Chain A
Amino acid sequence: MGLLSDPVRRRALARLVLRLNAPLCVLSYVAGIAWFLALVFPPLTQRTYMSENAMGSTMVEEQFAGGDRARAFARDFAAHRKKSGALPVAWLERTMRSVGLEVYTQSFSRKLPFPDETHERYMVSGTNVYGILRAPRAASTESLVLTVPCGSDSTNSQAVGLLLALAAHFRGQIYWAKDIVFLVTEHDLLGTEAWLEAYHDVNVTGMQSSPLQGRAGAIQAAVALELSSDVVTSLDVAVEGLNGQLPNLDLLNLFQTFCQKGGLLCTLQGKGLQTLLLMVLRQASGRPHGSHGLFLRYRVEALTLRGINSFRQYKYDLVAVGKALEGMFRKLNHLLERLHQSFFLYLLPGLSRFVSIGLYMPAVGFLLLVLGLKALELWMQLHEAGMGLEEPGGAPGPSVPLPPSQAMGLALYVLPVLGQHVATQHFPVAEAEAVVLTLLAIYAAGLALPHNTHRVVSTQAPDRGWMALKLVALIYLALQLGCIALTNFSLGFLLATTMVPTAALAKPHGPRTLYAALLVLTSPAATLLGSLFLWRELQEAPLSLAEGWQLFLAALAQGVLEHHTYGALLFPLLSLGLYPCWLLFWNVLFWK
């Protein structure tokens, strides 16, 4: 308590904070960015290792040899699919039954809030087909899932073929202790969500689906498979799930072990810093990058494996992929309890290296420290000037912009989807475009807010009013970024890098146009635009400005859709939380 109670030390501390504030803030910000960039270097990263005992010590001999069978199934599936246009449900049922599984179907339907232009769908209805392989000597209390999502744009027929061949192979073994569910979903993520909701008997997204006739026990782990050709040069793994949730690191370690064992090349996109940045961007977007992302919400550890067919020399056929999957499932079969030994919160600079939360959190801590220091400085300046936060003297002034900003945020969240029909009646645009344009219009309308709130602000103590408002805004921003960083580190870090410097700098005096430009460039929407460009740049497919703008509009529509269909939180966080906060800083900048 000495630091807080001793008046001599308090005065020294206060002097330190007031005089050295700017250098400390800059130092802290630079330290945060540098810490993050340093996470790529080997001394700071650790090699991945298997933490779960049940999966570690034993090695299995894979015996899958059904490559021809898989290819035959795949060809049949593709043919039937082309003929019927949708998922060939009857054929799948027949084939699964002939392989020896208990087959069930589930139909679902969903009316999207507005037409999805990327996937070209509005009223979605489909059928999921799944077969359960019952464990011969166990009580059906636990299960594993192998799922193949079939969308209209990606037929994924080789994956279906491999799934059926694997089912046939697994059916002949006696060592299964858990049931295995082989799931083929229609309309990829929508179908998976419908199946999961019906399986766990909840209804979080308003999907209408028929109840499941057959269940297999609590799901311990799931693997989603996406193959686009008969041969693959490498297997890509996707870990990021809905709202940035990640599966247990052990599942990734398991996959990597089997790839190494089989000599299969497994990759995570990019290398070093590129991988890390790509992972951060993917996690920050909060989208499920594969059907595994939806499993994570139900505490089922899941991964998506994608077969890539690039121009490399050495190619692997379906047998190699099948063997890797067989090995993984045999190891998962040994699990005694859910995967919980390894890390749930990590970053991956490479497939065999990871960074745990204890090491990457200080980066965001340093960034938020800047906000804390600035808030402390403002408080001390206000205190010296004799106006505390409780004094009612100038109180109407600082708190006036708060309700309108929050109301703008609420309007941004609610109006675009609600008002799309009105917009389409009056303007010649499609619904999706109406939603996006309304979003942009409300966003830009918020910029005019200071002009309107000035008439209400009293002229009492005008100079100090903006300081109180900025203090409140800084604390609000720090709180939000802190909460976001805890649940989704990448999103918190990305938003902190862009919003913290301009938030700290905003003040009514000084070069107003420069500050205004900076503030607009670091607003949440601009951050989204910038990260899209960065994303494509890192994937070595850079965008031109026009393409980037189109992609940005599509991303906005997708963000709103995903919030309504899967419960993704990026859209509400940005519109209800960060945008009003940003508007407060805009009000501070234009304080008269």
Chain B
Amino acid sequence: MAAPLVLVLVVAVTVRAALFRSSLAEFISERVEVVSPLSSWKRVVEGLSLLDLGVSPYSGAVFHETPLIIYLFHFLIDYAELVFMITDALTAIALYFAIQDFNKVVFKKQKLLLELDQYAPDVAELIRTPMEMRYIPLKVALLQCFPQCYFSCLSDIPVSVPTHLVCPRTPLSPPAAVHTCENEEQSLLDLFLGVCHDVCGKPSGNHLPLLLPSQLLGFHPRSLWLYINVFFYTIPLAIKLKEHPIFFMFIQIAVIAIFKSYPTVGDVALYMAFFPVWNHLYRFLRNIFVLTCIIIVCSLLFPVLWHLWIYAGSANSNFFYAITLTFNVGQILLISDYFYAFLRREYYLTHGLYLTAKDGTEAMLVLK
């Protein structure tokens, strides 16, 4: 399986290199859906030049990165393009091997539960086979490379690093902890997360000095309650999903991407890269059509309404904010749909696929 991965990486690097040199680079680096005050490369450059002049980069409300980023890019600023490409490629490789390991773990666990007769007799079609799971790591690497490269590579620091820096890292430690408890071998994913946690710098990186109005979520100090959402779901999810840490992490990443203060396309692309891992849940998703339509429509309307607001001057911010809200609603419904599908599959596995009520008719599962 190494050859397809290498091919994917080569193509991804070529596309990124081509995009960096094209005229699209300027255009995309200005788009608000891609660049946010927290992850903008221009601000990093600004902070570095302030440092060179002997002024603190944090004076003036331009630079919002951690000190580690400053020290890192101080030496690498000339090779920024290369650093971005290498980091993205490493992320893809790390995800590839992590998912491959995860698949092996899942398969082993499944076999164990089958032998222990924990599953109901008629769930043969729900059992996952190695054949169907073969291409999942490659698909994940593919999805991670391409949407991100079109949007994030040009304008901000690779999402893998600052996503975990600027968002509170505490919600991600429970899933990692649970995962390490379960497996004896240290999976690469753990290593990846561990690196991220170590790289998380000093506390100054975690405070959000938001002196600008948030373009996307209308942040105001009083909407602290909105950001509590990022933390809210950790403990209940940890209790419910204690046997499925990777799914827990997927949901947690998605929740962080939705409720983050300056969400961008890169954050959405990060959790959407994991969809192939949960391909087997497709048959239990209930609203996938409506949700896909909502998300596609909103993504298309973002640039239209931004143009109308800023350039044509006809619409106003309400139109744009309405679309961001609808997009978030769509994402929330999508994640809850996946959650429901996951729980439903677990239920079917233990109770059988064809359920009958007491009087012999077909029963329906209702989520209470």
Which residues of A does B touch, CB under 8 Å?
1, 4-8, 10, 245-246, 299, 340, 344-345, 372, 375-376, 379, 388-390, 475, 479, 482-483, 486-487
Contacts and interface: CB of A to CB of B under 8 A. Distances in A.
B314 A7 contact: no
B297 A5 contact: no
Contact of A7 (B293, B301, B365): B365
Given A475-B296, A479-B297, A486 B364 contact: no
A372 B297 CA distance: 12
Q: Chain B, interface size: which category? A: 20 to 34
A388 B365 CA distance: 22
Contact of A345 (B297, B307, B314): B314
B300 A6 contact: no
A528 to B, nearest CB: 23
B140 to A, nearest CB: 16
A486 B287 CA distance: 27
B340 interface: yes
A246 B308 CA distance: 12
Contacts of B72: none
The B interface is mostly helix, strand or loop, or mixed, namely helix
A225 to B, nearest CB: 24
B297 to A, nearest CB: 6
A475 B300 CA distance: 12
B305 A486 contact: yes
Interface in B279-296: 282, 286-287, 289-290, 293, 296
A165 B301 CA distance: 49
Contacts of A475: 293, 296
A388 B290 CA distance: 14
B304 interface: yes
A250 to B, nearest CB: 13
B286 A10 contact: yes
Interface string B255-291: 0000000000000000000000000001000110110
Contacts of A482: 297, 301
15 contacts: A4-B333, A5-B286, A7-B364, A8-B364, A344-B314, A345-B315, A376-B289, A376-B290, A479-B296, A479-B297, A482-B297, A486-B301, A486-B305, A486-B308, A487-B312
A483 B313 contact: no
Nearest to B293: A475
Given A345-B315, A479-B300, 6 more contacts: A1-B336, A5-B367, A6-B366, A479-B297, A482-B297, A487-B304
A1 B335 CA distance: 13
A264 B365 CA distance: 74
B288 to A, nearest CB: 8
A89 B37 CA distance: 51
Nearest to B311: A299
B301 A483 contact: yes
Contacts of A389: 289
A245 B312 contact: yes
Interface centre among B286, B314, B340, B367 (most CB of A within 10 A): B314
Given A299-B313, A344-B314, A390-B282, A483 B300 contact: yes
Contacts of A344: 312-315
A117 B307 CA distance: 34
Contact of A379 (B289, B297, B304): B289
B352 to A, nearest CB: 18
A246 B305 CA distance: 16
Nearest to A483: B304
A211 B289 CA distance: 54
A479 B304 CA distance: 11
A376 B305 CA distance: 26
Contacts of A246: 314
Contacts of B297: 479, 482
Nearest to B301: A483
A456 to B, nearest CB: 25
A281 B296 CA distance: 30
Instruction: Give the 4 A-B CB pairs with smallest separation, nearest first.
Output: A344-B314, A379-B289, A7-B364, A299-B313
A388 B288 CA distance: 10
A4 B312 contact: no
